[in-house]
Amino acid sequence: MNLQNYLSVSEEVKDAVAKGLPVVALESTIISHGMPYPKNVETALEVERVVRDNGAIPATIAIIKGKFCVGINKEQIEYLGKKGLDVIKASRRDVPVLLAKGEDGATTVTTTMMAAKLAGIKIFATGGLGGVHRGAEKTMDISADLEELSQTDVYVVCAGVKAILDLKLTLEYLETKGVTVLGYQTDELPAFYSKTSGLKVDYRVDTPKEIADIIQVKDVCGIKGGMLITNPIPDEYSLDGNAIEVIIESAIKKADNLGIKGKAITPYLLDEVQKQTGGESLESNIKLVINNAKLGAEIAIELSKIKKAVKP
């Protein structure tokens, strides 16, 4: 028994990685837990199309029938979309159990990073990062995404930390773990649904080439862990941050009263925000994921050029 028993990489992705072509990893939690069918499938396929249209190869990742599948096909995306919430939202702790039992799992930021690393993919585009939950000083509820960033050499493009979380404490945690936070064409940490949070990123970067250069230096120096590349939601889809904050505070109180906690809290809060915004937050979520996929493709292309140029 070896890794190949639990890892299946599509021929397209395997060939692209071997040739040093640009590849962008994509998660599958957005398919099974992010939105209802068939919107989830339509969005996943649209994100893949955007990656291709911008010159890179998409590699949507999921756990299917006990295997990390890197570069799933349309039928597998449809399967996850229809199964929906019946698919386990898989974080690091779930992986050995799901693989051993031959079950399905929707990959989070954490598990998508794990599988991308195994497949040799450097760039991963997603929606928002998990982080330190509000009230974590009492609950100790901190996303495994942060720990994964500190130890896994995959570079994550996102629209900042999910707005339902404690953004300031998340930045503090990332600093403690030595994870660099870059702001693409911004000095401020994006707040997922809105462009700004009032919090500063570590460094501003203005081009995909600049980001790729930083990644290459990090790789050459053997500096462990990933990096966070935050990409603000486009102006036309940005929501009012103050209004979103009021909705989130109300949703958190409802969740407390209902005893909702752990991995169930994030989808519950996002669903509440969606309901209270009349679906606007869902559309914003889709647009920001597409925006991140485009930037991820651009970075992957520049990184591919660099690595080909320095290859002996």
**Residue 1 domain-assigned (yes or no):** yes
Task: Note whether 112 and 13 are within 8 A (CB).
Answer: no
Catalytic residue among 67, 89, 117, 162: 162
* pLDDT of 251: 82
Helices 74-83 and 39-53 cross at an angle (nearest 10°) of 150
Judge if 141 and 105 occupy the same domain: no
* pLDDT of 312: 63
Active site residue 162: yes
For the cut 70, the answer to whether the pLDDT of residue 309 exceeds it is yes
Judge if 3 and 21 occupy the same domain: yes
**Residue 269 domain-assigned (yes or no):** no
Task: State the pLDDT confidence band at 40, using cuts at 50, 70 and 90.
Answer: very high
For the cut 90, the answer to whether the pLDDT of residue 248 exceeds it is no
- Choosing from 88, 121, 154, the residue where a domain stops is 121
- Choosing from 64, 91, 121, the residue where a domain stops is 121
**Residue 274 domain-assigned (yes or no):** no
Q: Where does residue 108 fall: left (phi above 0), alpha (psi -120 to 50 degrees), or beta otherwise? A: beta
**Residue 15 domain-assigned (yes or no):** yes
- What is the percentage of the chain residues whose pLDDT exceeds 70? 99
Task: Note whether 124 and 154 are within 8 A (CB).
Answer: yes
CATH of residue 143 = 3.40.1790.10
**Residue 178 domain-assigned (yes or no):** yes
Q: Where does residue 192 fall: left (phi above 0), alpha (psi -120 to 50 degrees), or beta otherwise? A: left
Judge if 60 and 9 occupy the same domain: yes
- Choosing from 85, 103, 121, the residue where a domain stops is 121
**Residue 299 domain-assigned (yes or no):** yes
**Residue 300 domain-assigned (yes or no):** yes
Catalytic residue among 27, 148, 272, 298: 27
* Total number of domains constituting the chain: 2
Burial class (CB in 10 A: 0-12, 13-18, 19+), 14: middle
Judge if 116 and 134 occupy the same domain: no
Q: The whole model's pTM is what?
A: 0.94
Judge if 155 and 114 occupy the same domain: no
Give the range among 124-133, 205-214, 244-253, 300-309 with minimum mean pLDDT: 244-253
Minimal CA–CA distance to 281: which of 256, 258, 251, 311?
251
* pLDDT of 133: 84
Return the ∠ at Cα 269 (arms to 98 and 196), rounded to 5°. 110
* pLDDT of 176: 97
Residues of the domain holding 42: 1-121
Query: d(Cα 191, Cα 187) in Å, to the nearest integer?
Result: 13
Judge if 192 and 301 occupy the same domain: yes
Mean pLDDT of 4-25: 97
Minimal CA–CA distance to 150: which of 182, 110, 112?
110
Active site residue 195: no
For the cut 90, the answer to whether the pLDDT of residue 236 exceeds it is yes
Helices 109-119 and 11-19 cross at an angle (nearest 10°) of 60
Judge if 107 and 174 occupy the same domain: no
Return the ∠ at Cα 147 (arms to 144 and 153), rounded to 5°. 115
Judge if 79 and 136 occupy the same domain: no
Judge if 103 and 19 occupy the same domain: yes
Judge if 136 and 74 occupy the same domain: no
Judge if 50 and 148 occupy the same domain: no
Give the tens place of pLDDT for each residue, 164-217. Answer: 889 999 999 999 999 999 999 999 999 988 988 899 999 999 999 999 999 999
**Residue 89 domain-assigned (yes or no):** yes
Minimal CA–CA distance to 243: which of 191, 206, 183?
191
Query: d(Cα 193, Cα 276) in Å, to the nearest integer?
Result: 14
Residue 312 structure tokens: 């002996």
Judge if 188 and 302 occupy the same domain: yes
Helices 241-258 and 265-276 cross at an angle (nearest 10°) of 130
